[in-house]
Amino acid sequence: MSSQYKIIIFDWDGTLMDSLSRIVTSMQLASQDFALPVLSDSDVHEIIGLGLGEAISALYPGLSDVEVQKVRERYAHYYLQEDHSPSQFYDGILPMLEALQQTPALLSVATGKSRRGLDRVMSGVGAQDLFHSSRCADETESKPSPRMVLELLELHQVDPHEAVVVGDTEFDMEMARNAGVDRLGVGWGAHHIDRLANYDPKASFTQVSELADWLLS
């Protein structure tokens, strides 16, 4: 179905990149350093997709801006410690992206990562040339604001009905709905696929191969 879209906007963590366990561990370790309440894996999954500052504030609403910044710095410290073994794409993602490059559709990314973080991980997996554009949470407004999507549409002079967002969280689906674009849900990431159904996606998928077949059909 990619032929009906001029741009396909992918979320990164939990949609393309198998990085959820690293995010969870880094957040848990950062929280422990400041003697904050212990976070479960599911607690951290709830905030994946938000900008890092927004995510920490959602997990710990009582923290001051200064305290949030300190936790951010510790999270980044632990995340970077693991860069000797970069996170990888989910199985089947790279062939799908390479096949989509042969179609007229533009490929883009809208992520809660920072620009520095996205550039680093793209470089680590050799993905710099796979995408025509990207927007990060520290450059604009965090999901579920539609701002990232709207800026990408403006950049490429694409109308909302010519765009689709692919994501694994309610934040992705709400961002897309707020921007007036179609949405596709995937079930291998942070939020259960049943939750994404509340945002009226065009389709939902539990396997990367199913997503690839739909986009390339």
Edge-to-edge strand list for the sheet holding 163-167: 133-136, 106-111, 7-10, 163-167, 182-186, 203-205
What sections of 114-207 are H helices per DSSP? 115-124, 147-156, 170-179, 193-196
Domain 2-18+88-216 class, CATH top level? alpha beta
Which of these, 170, 135, 177, 138, lies nearest to 156 by C-alpha position?
Answer: 135
Confidence of residue 124 (pLDDT cuts 50, 70, 90): confident
**pLDDT tens digit sequence for 63-83:** 999 999 999 999 999 988 876
Angle at the Cα of 217 from the Cα atoms of 170 and 102, rounded to 5 degrees: 95
Question: What is the domain partition of the chain in residue ranges?
Answer: 2-18+88-216, 20-84
- What is the rounded radius of gyration, in angstroms, for the C-alpha atoms of the chain? 17
- What class has domain 20-84? mainly alpha
Mean pLDDT of 131-137: 97
Mean pLDDT of 48-68: 95
Average pLDDT estimate for 117-138: 92
For residue 85, is pLDDT > 90? Answer: no
Quick one: which of 120, 42, 52 has its CA closest to 82?
120
